[in-house]
Amino acid sequence: MESVPELLFIAGEWRDAKDGARFTVEDPADGSALAEVADAGEGDAAAALDAAVAAQAAWGATAPRERGELLRSAFELLTERRDEFAQVISLEMGKPLAEAAGEVTYGAEFFRWFSEEAVRVHGRWMSAPDGKSRLLTAKRPVGPCLFVTPWNFPLAMGTRKIGPAIAAGCTMVVKPAQQTPLTMLKLAELLSEVGLPAGVLNVLPTTSAGPVVSALMADVRLRKVSFTGSTGVGKVLVKQSADNLQRVSMELGGNAPFLVFEDADIPAAVDGAMVAKMRNMGEACTSANRFLVHADVAGGFAAALGERMGALRVGRGQDDGVQVGPLIDAAAVDSVSKLVSDAVDDGARVVTGGERAEGKGHFYPPTVLLDVPPTAEINAVEVFGPVAPITTFTTEDEAIAAANDTEYGLASYAYTRDLARTLRLAEKLEFGMLGINTGLVSNPAAPFGGVKASGFGREGGFEGIEEYLDTTYVALPAG
């Protein structure tokens, strides 16, 4: 931890907050202090945006190949230092080291993907339908951006935004989550090391997220906002963006259904459920939140999943063999515990887990619940913990209706061997992403995003860089 910067990063320099304020970053495994980090205020936000604005013209004019090569260098160095970053992620967020290393690999891939997309930005040339003129379109950077990133993937949720912004030629201000600022500060250091010009990336750790973000969004020079977090906060930011008509991308809450049909390969479905549920201890917006299982196979599926979940080793993320780390804070444990207790009171049966852990740290055991009533609160909200509530169905139409019975529409999963059913699900499920016979949908080469209350805009894939580009149309006489 001694090598991790603990200051604000503005205009290529490490600075204290203007008022000298600092805050403590805690280890969720035991509540101990990891670091004291500079705590940005509104004056620091103004300085960061000043730096981004000052750097925009020159950065936007750099050759696409130059931006791409810089991202490629960042990918290579981040990959080389995977274990260093994994240690920091594990310490401040809680996830096991192996999973933290997986996040570094995943997060670095956004730099590699967008290093290749940087040189593929293009417009078009065509004749007008009447033949009297020519139509030319060109792409150019949106301009200075604000990124607000969450605590659950402190590296990958940053690289997923920073990668396309760099590729497109945008400058940026990043406000990492209060619980996990260290990873982003370390990433800023790495990007500076590979040659990112001063002012292109600015990082503001803060305990005053509302005032800092509001101050930035009130400035007409800010042209784009990308937020990953709760739907409630996302709605506030969308309203604030209206004053200056800022471009907005919102990756918000989820309530992912995991459908298991009667014809499913049950061992494969259990394997997929372990991935979809237990990635990041269930603290992921794409996490399988509701398990909708055909009544004919629910008992066997629940028993097998309970056996696998119950065998997972819970502990401090840095300890050997640990597969499930702590949740992010005490409030998270309280929320998960209450949802489980309420479901049991409503008639659900505990297959494994179900009781919060004693002692230090914010731990909750992997839990499987069977016979969860469709009306239970745990089916209506984002659990954000290692709990798999199973509700049964008897027909395909019933399963689809239950899956769509949510305001959210981010990720969904289904296990079936029926190709025609797969096509029906793709057409009828109201979600931005669907995994068929897989528990993992996230991929830097694919467009990540949702519909309904899960937000709008896409990150990753060919679509990802378009979020950072404006289109200019030029009309030319034919002759």
Q: Give the residue numbers marked as catalytic.
A: 251, 285
Q: Cα–Cα distances in Å, from 459 out to 28, 97, 169, 183, 440? A: 29, 26, 16, 20, 16
375 and 396 in contact (C-beta within 8 Å)? no
Going by C-alpha positions, the residue among 3, 25, 30, 40 that lies closest to residue 317 is 30
Question: Which candidate, 139, 208, 144, places its Cα nearest to that of 178?
Answer: 208
**Max Cα–Cα distance, the chain, nearest Å:** 81
Residue 59 identity (one-letter amino acid):
W
> Letter for the amino acid at 422?
T
Distance between CA atoms of 4 and 409, rounded to whole angstroms?
A: 37
Tokens of 218: 């009130």
Chain CA centroid to CA 142, Å? 22
Three-state secondary structure call for residue 139: strand
Residue 392: Cβ-neighbour burial (10 angstroms; 0-12, 13-18, 19+): buried
CA 354, CA 350: separation in Å to the nearest integer? 6
- The pair phi, psi for residue 218, each rounded to 5°, is -75, -10
